[in-house]
Structure 1
Amino acid sequence: MEFRHLEGFLAVAEELHFGRAAARLHRTQPSLSQQLQRLERTLEVQLVDRTSHEVRLTSAGRAFEVDARAIMAQAQKAADSAREAAAGRTGTVRVGYNFPAGRHILPATMAMMHTQHPQLSVKLEEKRTGAQLTALAEGELDVALVYGHPVTSDFRHRRLMSLPMIAIVGQGHRWAGRPGVPFAELARQACILFSRDKCPAMYDAIMTAAERASVRLSVAHVVDDPVATGILVSVKPLVGFASVSRGIFGIGTAGGVRPTWVQLYDPVPMIDLYAVWREGDGPHGPRTAFLDCLEAAGPFEAPAREEARIA
């Protein structure tokens, strides 16, 4: 059964005249008649009664007309969906993000997506940088919002914003309440660090600052969970590290005691937030729409010190 045979049958069913039906479809009357005969042979039923005076549907033809219209409507819907998806007007974009991206990047971007591309869906997944890049490489994400960017031709990237890193300490730590601490003072502190593969850019920013300050960090614990870091510094005289966004808005608590954060300087360790996506994926309408909204929603800025203290 071919769609053109269904189309021809439906035209005859509406016109009840082979000449008018053929003209409407820009076909010859003999070819339309032959196509209808082929359809009837395929179905092994007679769909149309033809006489020299009239054309009418048989009972089988009337029953077949209902389903034939549904088939043609579904085929048109499928074609429309394909065109909409190719044009980037429907579909889903899978976006990974980290804490500062969720705080500073996504709200404005998602609002713009909702306004400009209401038919698109955005699936959000919060992950650390290493996990996001793995998911991106394996095709499980379309866009990753991460610290730093991989130095490989497999990915493209766009810098979104730069964030200072801060120290996280407990309320009873001797740094608590100080407006800032020179990085060199970390030489006399036990620290909590994390595995480099979890977030290479942040790890390298800390180590670069330590090198510039001529400091060798004393790492007492390796902890890959920011909330667990907040708990440890609340109960032990340790120093953890975080972006200023997590320091302000998302430090974990322990027993109701909230850790505090202290600015680091001389030098200030800085970390860049990037959008990263795969190179060579070909046209991807939803991803392109998301990246366009991401660019239009910027520029993005780190929270000011005044905002931080109010928060």
Structure 2
Amino acid sequence: MELRHLISFLALAEELHFGRAAARLHLAQPSLSQHLRRLERSVGAELVARNSHEVRLTPAGHAFLDLARDIIAKVEQAGQAARAAAAGRAGTLRVGYNFPAGQRVLPAALAELDRRHPAIDVEMRELRTGPQLAALTEGRLDLAMVYGKPSSTSLHSRRLLRVPLVAVVGHQHRWAGRDRVPFSELAGEPCVLFRRAQSAAMYDTIVTAARASGIRLTIAEEVDDPGATAILAAVRPVVGFASAARGGLGGTRTTAVALYDPVPVLDVHAVWSDEANPLVAAFLDCLPATSSV
């Protein structure tokens, strides 16, 4: 059963006249008759009856008509969907993000994307930088929002946000009542850090700030999960680190203390690997201008 034969049948069913149906389809009448015969052979039933006075649908033709219309409509919808996806107006975009991007960038971008392209679905995953970049490289994400500009030449990036880092301490810590402390006061303080592979840019920013202030950090714990960092800071006299956008990781259990001299600062970048992906291009067009916390 060929699509053109269905189209010819529908035109004939609507016109009930071979001449008008052929003209509508820009076909010669013999070609239209041939289409009908081939369709009837494929279906195994006579669909159109004709004599010298009239053209009419047989009972089989009436039964076939609505389903044939559904088939043509589905084919048209499939074409529209394919064209929309090719143009970046439909499909599923997989986006990774970190906490600052989720708070400061993603809500406005998603609202604008939904306004412009309501047929684009977005799957979101909150991850640290390292896992996001790995997922991007392996094709499990289409776009990542991470700390730092990637060094790989195969990745493209755009700076979105600049955020300072803060110290996170429990309410019993001696810093808990202070608004800010110089970075050098971290000398000798037991700190909670994470493996560099989890977020190289954040790790390097902290270590570089320590070096600039003339101290060496005392790493008491290595914890990759921000929630676990908050728990440790809440119950032990240790110092964790977070972006100012996140603040006190544990809500009422911890408090954020600004660091200065130097102020450790991080850039959040949108990163993608496939520059030709129209869904990525549509999302990038919806991102707000670069800002700072």
TM norm structure 1: 0.89
Corresponding residue for residue 306 of structure 1:
none
User: What are the within-5 Å matches in structure 2 for residues 213-252 of structure 1?
Assistant: 213-247=213-247, 250-252=248-250
Is 2:251 the counterpart of 1:260?
Answer: no
Corresponding residue for residue 7 of structure 1:
7
Q: In 1, are the aligned partners of 2:159 and 2:290 still within 8 Å (CA)? A: no
Name the SS of the counterpart of 1:115 in structure 2.
helix
Corresponding residue for residue 38 of structure 1:
38
Corresponding residue for residue 101 of structure 2:
101
Is 2:290 the counterpart of 1:292?
Answer: no
Q: Counterparts of 1:153 and 1:301 in 2: how far apart (Å)?
A: 26
Corresponding residue for residue 124 of structure 2:
124
Q: Aligned-pair RMSD on alpha carbons?
A: 1.6
Q: CA deviation at 1:259?
A: 1.4
Q: Counterparts of 1:87 and 1:210 in 2: how far apart (Å)?
A: 48
Q: Counterparts of 2:103 and 2:13 in 1: how far apart (Å)?
A: 60
Deviations 1:67-108 (CA, angstroms, capped at 9, x unpaired): 211111111111111122222222222211111111111122
Deviations 1:120-158 (CA, angstroms, capped at 9, x unpaired): 222221111112112212222211111113211221110
- Structure 2 CA distance for partners of 1:85 and 1:121, relative to 1, 3 Å: same
Corresponding residue for residue 292 of structure 2:
301
Q: Counterparts of 2:118 and 2:39 in 1: how far apart (Å)?
A: 42
Name the SS of the counterpart of 1:64 in structure 2.
helix
Q: CA deviation at 1:193?
A: 0.8
User: What are the within-5 Å matches in structure 2 for residues 105-184 of structure 1?
Assistant: 105-184=105-184
Corresponding residue for residue 19 of structure 1:
19
Q: In 1, are the aligned partners of 2:142 and 2:274 still within 8 Å (CA)? A: no
Q: CA deviation at 1:58?
A: 1.6
Name the SS of the counterpart of 1:192 in structure 2.
strand
Corresponding residue for residue 307 of structure 1:
none
Q: Counterparts of 1:235 and 1:47 in 2: how far apart (Å)?
A: 80
Q: In 1, are the aligned partners of 2:234 and 2:250 still within 8 Å (CA)? A: no
Q: Counterparts of 2:61 and 2:170 in 1: how far apart (Å)?
A: 81
Q: Counterparts of 1:46 and 1:74 in 2: how far apart (Å)?
A: 24
Deviations 1:18-65 (CA, angstroms, capped at 9, x unpaired): 111100000111111111111122222222222223222222122112
User: What are the within-5 Å matches in structure 2 for residues 13-92 of structure 1?
Assistant: 13-92=13-92
Name the SS of the counterpart of 2:105 in structure 1.
helix
Q: Counterparts of 1:15 and 1:170 in 2: how far apart (Å)?
A: 81
Q: CA deviation at 1:176?
A: 2.2
Q: CA deviation at 1:235?
A: 2.2
Q: CA deviation at 1:166?
A: 1.2
Aligned residue pairs total: 293
Corresponding residue for residue 187 of structure 2:
187
Deviations 1:158-199 (CA, angstroms, capped at 9, x unpaired): 011111111112222222222322212222211111111111
Q: Counterparts of 1:54 and 1:234 in 2: how far apart (Å)?
A: 88
Name the SS of the counterpart of 2:221 in structure 1.
strand
Query: Unpaired segments of 5 or more residues in structure 2?
Result: none
Q: In 2, are the aligned partners of 1:153 and 1:279 still within 8 Å (CA)? A: no
